[in-house]
Structure 1
Amino acid sequence: MSKVILLNGSAHQHGCTAAALDEMIKVFEEEGVETELIQVGTKDIRGCIACGKCSEIGKCVFDDLVNEVAPKFEEADGLVVGSPVYYASPNGTILSFMDRLFYSTSFSKHMKVGAAVVSCRRGGNTASYDVLNKYFTISGMPVASSTYWNQVHGFSAEDVKKDLEGLQTMRNLARNMSFMIKAFADAKEKYGYPKVEKDSFTSFPDGK
């Protein structure tokens, strides 16, 4: 069975971001996709210090939720990252988590399906959405889209439940993501995944 991990980057476990992710989980279950919701925003997650130790020991030197989620991410077929908007950007906890999760894991993320979800009261949503999507696009992860930007509006979970278009967007996103995961699995059996070249690395050490 296919599996999707959903990360809730909000410090409010049952807040606006949770309401959006819960709407997706309902559809994933209907589509026969297993889910696991992981609370990130309620944890104390420090940022990456670029020590490079992960390349030696195979995991982040700070042994916390990042290292717990890493093997689950490796086995998963898709990843949904949800965050509230803080000053027109995702909140600091989820960004620290994502920095370390993606940097410290050496396994291939190629063709895992990614989706970003943001919640806001009014503005800053598309900027936050853009930041989260960059983790996927640098890692060979196809990005799932919906019928609008993947966002919900409200000051509380109750507000989000009144955002009918936002909830509709979440349902369509989950359906599209489920389809992509299943289609990629079928295509892998028939054609194999696309070749990935990694020999070239832009650094210009000769100064030219």
Structure 2
Amino acid sequence: MKVIGICGSPREGNTEYYIKTVLESLNSKGHETLYIPLRSMKIEQCEGCYGCVKAHQCVVEDDFQAVFKHLIEADAIVVGSPVYNGSITPRLKALLDRAGFSARWMKNELNTQNGKYDWGQMVFSRKLFAPITVARKTGQTFALSQLTLWAQVNDLITVGSNYWNVGTAGTSGSVNASEDAEGISIMAHLAENIDFLLTKMNAS
């Protein structure tokens, strides 16, 4: 099954290390994996134009479309971000905003019943989603919550580990995730959980 890892960091380093730890483990178990760094991509923020409601796709043209294609094709999505002022990075936020909004309208119409939406299946329904955040010390809770909330509102299944999916690295800008023994063990168990669920899904 296909697993993609999306890195929201604007540089090579710690976040990339944790994501690749998960992907390499899953690849060794026979899953197809793909690593996608956003740092060199142009992904504008959602304009709230509602063009996707009629077009059933995002109408803003940039690198978003290439990444979105991989999101649709994936069975499991691993998304990682360093923590900036308690939040995920702007480029990753832009990607997720546009992905969630345009994906919703690919299979739904802008109709309401008594003022309420009646959602059905969505493009991301029942895909696995594993959030990862990386910080020097703190700020993890809100950033991890951002990713988890995005997954839940878009009908994905969130995958956890034996601790929160966090890495502790980057003091004074250092690239030292390889020294975070606990974080590496968290990622290893996260990969085991993703593999377990993908195997169950594939058998059904």
Normalising by the smaller structure, the TM-score range is 0.7 to 0.9
The answer for the alignment partner of 1:68 in structure 2 is: 66
Identity percentage of aligned residues: 28
Which residue in 1 is equivalent to 2:158? 143
- 8 Å contact kept, 2:130–2:159: yes
Moved over 4 A (4+): none
Q: In structure 2, what residue type is equivalent to 1:140? A: D
Return the match for 1:39 from 37, 54, 75.
Answer: 37
Is this contact kept in 1: 2:44–2:62, CA < 8 A? no
1:21 corresponding residue in structure 2: 19
| Alpha-carbon distance, 1:157 to partner | 6.5
Deviation at 1:108, TM superposition (A): 2.4
Match for residue 7 of structure 2?
8
Q: Aligned runs of 1:63-142 on 2, under 5 Å?
A: 63-105=61-103, 106=106, 107-142=122-157
TM-score, normalised by the number of residues in structure 1 = 0.84
TM-score (norm 2): 0.86
**Cross-structure match for 1:191:** none
Q: Which amino acid aligns with 2:178?
A: K
Q: Name the aligned partner's letter for residue 199 of structure 2.
A: K
1:48–1:99: 8 Å Cα contact kept in structure 2? yes
User: In the alignment, what sits opposite 1:202?
Assistant: none
Shift of 1:178: 1.4
SS in structure 2 of the partner of residue 137 of structure 1: helix
Shift of 1:147: 1.1
Equivalent-residue separation in structure 2 for 1:67 and 1:94 (angstroms): 14
User: 1:67-123 deviations in whole A, cap 9, x for unaligned?
Assistant: 112222222101111100000110111001110011112252111000101111111
Q: What letter matches 2:167 in structure 1?
A: V
Question: Structure 2 CA distance, aligned partners of 1:42 and 1:72?
Answer: 17
Length, aligned pairs only: 185
Which residue is 1:193 aligned to? none
Distance 2:24 2:196 in 1: 15
Secondary structure of the residue aligned to 1:161 is: helix
Q: 1:53 aligns with which of 43, 51, 54?
A: 51
Q: Which residue of 2 aligns with 1:201?
A: none
Q: After TM superposition, give the deviation of residue 4 of structure 1 in Å.
A: 0.7
**Distance in 2 between the 1:157 and 1:78 partners?**
30
List alignment gaps of at least 5 residues for structure 1: 188-208
SS in 2 for 1:90: coil
**Equivalent residues of 1:45, 1:96 under 8 A apart:** yes
Question: What per-residue deviation string (whole Å, max 9, x for no partner) do you get for residues 124-165 of structure 1?
Answer: 012110101111111221111101111111115642110001
Unaligned 5+ runs, structure 2: 107-121
Q: Which residue of structure 2 lines up, in the alignment, with residue 163 of structure 1?
A: 180
2:194 matched to which residue of 1?
Answer: 177
